Amino acid sequence: MGTLALLDALWEMPAEKRIFGAVLLFSWTVYLWETFLAQRQRRIYKTTTHVPPELGQIMDSETFEKSRLYQLDKSTFSFWSGLYSEIEGTLILLFGGIPYLWRLSGRFCSYAGFGPEYEITQSLVFLLLATLFSALTGLPWSLYNTFVIEEKHGFNQQTLGFFMKDAIKKFVVTQCILLPVSSLLLYIIKIGGDYFFIYAWLFTLAVSLVLVTIYADYIAPLFDKFTPLPEGKLKEEIEVMAKSIDFPLTKVYVVEGSKRSSHSNAYFYGFFKNKRIVLFDTLLEEYSVLNKDIQEDSSMEPRKEDEGNSEEIKAKVKNKKQGCKNEEVLAVLGHELGHWKLGHTVKNIIISQMNSFLCFFLFAVLIGRKELFAAFGFYDSQPTLIGLLIIFQFIFSPYNEVLSFCLTVLSRRFEFQADAFAKKLGKAQDLYSALIKLNKDNLGFPVSDWLFSMWHYSHPPLLERLQALKSTKQH
């Protein structure tokens, strides 16, 4: 009854009030739904204190407990950061934060001699101030996550100085891309006429393809060191596997991810006949800095005065991350190359661009509705950038939630298919052991609530993937 009364009250309000109320109501509905799911998963973390029988051969009790405590800490952090984010967003809307920032941007422009007719210039100042505000309010949360949670559980490898330098560099690089691209997009919308949405879509398509092409060669090296994988057995086997499936491999890189975190990863990039593979050093047992530290500790002759620390050294060696052997790395790459061979990358690009075109088309339909601007405090002007923000972020939010869930379901399907492709390459046993190692190295918790995993997991739960591989592994 209360909900119906609220909806009736909303419907009797003016159009702009209805829009504003609906946006706030949907935002809090999504937040409460996400919180409900998170609490279901948190209950799993709290109550599952022993390794389930079906995982007995996969995970030892010590690693299970470590992963449980790690995920509990992440869950607590996620709750408080999510609550802060929702309250912050609500207060910004209620107290007119968006129109205030727009007016402030206009004042800065007027100080520099730019009047209201320079809307694109004012839009760029607005973007700069908005992203600066977001970076500053998010900084304490990022610091806590890195230097408390990740540090506590052995993942953080950064110093405070490195972290701050990295954050400033990310902000500067983001602005160097965001501001020129945004100015061109706004200009295209302004001069594009009735079919501006087609030109805007084509422009964003071109930008996304360029960024994907140059990211690993020109942007990522600004933050991490990329070195060619040295000649040797692993590189030869990667090249042989790539050739066997007609993957046009040109280079294989190792990225020094260990200076930032001990989490591991691998990916490929590039278009047409120019594909490159990137391996994190934390993925490779032979190249991991952590494993080199272990070797140094274990190879040191214990002095008499250090005998009391021998057990501590042994424990350190035992508990360090392992990385994967060459055969397991090849199996992981077999899975990744499966995404390419099965067309998953192209399918994702097509889905993304179809969605982008639809959104720009609907934006063209809605941009003339003055009540949308009035709902968020813009009564006398309808800036294009504000229209993009209102329509893409707020009006499309129900559609975006549905789309996100559908893409999550599709992603899980793609992951199973890529695992099956690795099977066909004869990598089932190595992928089986690699998944277990990666789960252990990253302290993934192998037990999940069905509803939480269905809504959130872009990858199938570990046990489901292992069961799908098991029959082939046994053969």
Active site residue 224: no
Active site residue 60: no
Between CA 350 and CA 370 the distance in angstroms is 33
Question: What angle separates helix 397-424 from helix 15-47, to the nearest 10 degrees?
Answer: 40
Count of Cβ atoms closer than 10 Å to residue 68 Cβ: 21
Q: Can you say which residues are annotated as belonging to the binding site for Zn(2+)?
A: 335, 339, 415
Tokens linked to 471: 């029959």
Q: Which of 86, 336, 401, 464 is flagged as catalytic? A: 336
Looking from the CA of 142 toward its CB, the CA atoms found within 13 Å total: 12
DSSP readout, 175-210? HHHHHHHHHHHHHHHHHSGGGHHHHHHHHHHHHHHH
Between CA 285 and CA 474 the distance in angstroms is 25
Tokens linked to 388: 């993009």
Provide the β-strand partners of residue 280: 255
Cβ proximity of 158 and 166 under 8 Å: yes
C-alpha torsion sign, points 36, 84, 131, 190: positive
Total residues found in the chain within this entry? 475
Q: What is the largest CA-CA distance in the chain?
A: 84
Between CA 422 and CA 428 the distance in angstroms is 6
Between CA 307 and CA 434 the distance in angstroms is 35
Count of Cβ atoms closer than 10 Å to residue 98 Cβ: 18
Between CA 9 and CA 369 the distance in angstroms is 22
**Side by side, which strands form the sheet with 275-280?**
226-228, 249-255, 275-280, 266-269
Q: Which of 16, 119, 419, 430 is flagged as catalytic? A: 419
In the block, tokens 């490195």 appear at: 162
Between CA 434 and CA 426 the distance in angstroms is 14
Which residue numbers are catalytic?
336, 419
